[in-house]
Amino acid sequence: MDDVVDLAVVGAGPAGSAAALRALQLRPDARVLLVDAAEFPREKTCGDGIAAHALDLVEALGVPGVSRLGPPVPRMRLRSPGGRVVERACARPNRVVPRTVFDAELVAAAVARGARLLRHRVRHLEMGPDRVVLDGAVAARVVIGADGANSTVRRLLGAPAAPPSATAVAVRGYAPTAVDPDTLVIEFARGPYPAYAWSFPLPGGGANVGFGVFDKRGSGSRTELVAALRALLPGHEPDPASVRGHHLPLFTTPRHHPDGRVLLAGDAAALVNPLTGEGIFDALASGVLAGRAALLGAAAGAAHRAAMRQTFERHHAHGAVLARLLRRPRFLDAAVHAAARRQSVFDAAVDIGLGRGTAPLSALAHVALSCAAAA
């Protein structure tokens, strides 16, 4: 097989498109192929929230104007299992953009920059000394697996499955009304596992609503998840035809970034935030790193692993500790109370939940004081 592209990206969601965009940003003459089983635009099961942190990455990739796809949502409100409430303006407004629109915009930008889009479902890969061959038909110097939570590339690499404790389960649907058109609303549930319902206002009215449990062992059936959503957001129930379920591989899953010519990014690399279920920022960021590393050929795997460690190690370590603490309702009550009292605690929570922030000692001290006061 003589026709070998420089990079084949399996999956054209945010992680895959970001990888293609970054590779072409660094090497405009690179031959980049985006491979996806779907035809764009396509629906994607998601909360549709696009954090300001994620929009920064899109702008840095040279894709201007994405912010126009959804109006700013300036505020966020959280209610803890014990009834504590914080509602504040975020340091920068987030946006809600249906993934049908957001993903298609990124794909179009990658194609405009020179990537070729191929509709195909990858089922097999073969690694050789100087190339990777997909399904006996596509040869590439490097392959990036960005094919989502049920990644075929990850499975073919022999990566372990995410354990139930590191897998969230959620349902989402579309409701005709929003709890608040200017606010991202999150209502935490009582129960043995962290869980919350959300209402994110959509452009033009209505809302993306859903309910997620941050441990597969506590998920139950789709009917039970929708019932939990209904209990926390009465009067804002989704159209039953719009309800979809999905699994979220959390970044508390053991890392898997092997050496060689095959890389993983986004959900395929199990990079969903275990505090919020947010995955778009990590998808974009890991895609950017993978696109840069892919230009190194045989050294790509080692370079990508090092870049991921340097970029995310502290964020992942802090997030993993906080994810364990969130299993204690008393801690979550105290954290929400501290965020209501101090803007700095609220801002730190947003950064670690929607970006790659860490937990400052000052913020943890305020949470500890709130715990002690409630004792």
Tens-place pLDDT, residues 59-95: 999 998 888 899 899 999 999 999 999 999 999 999 9
Q: CA-CA distance, 23 to 142, in Å (whole number)?
A: 11
H or E segment to which residue 318 belongs: helix 300-325
In this structure, what token pair is assigned to residue 299? 């050294």
Regions of the chain where pLDDT drops below 50: none
In this structure, what token pair is assigned to residue 324? 């364990």
pLDDT score for 223: 93
What are the residues whose beta carbons fall under 8 Å from the beta carbon of 269, sequence distance 6 or more? 145, 154, 255, 256, 257, 286, 308
pLDDT score for 365: 67
pLDDT score for 373: 64
Question: 223-250, pLDDT tens digit by residue?
Answer: 999 999 999 999 999 999 999 999 999 9
Q: CA-CA distance, 8 to 3, in Å (whole number)?
A: 12
pLDDT score for 206: 95
What are the residues whose beta carbons fall under 8 Å from the beta carbon of 255, sequence distance 6 or more? 269, 270, 308
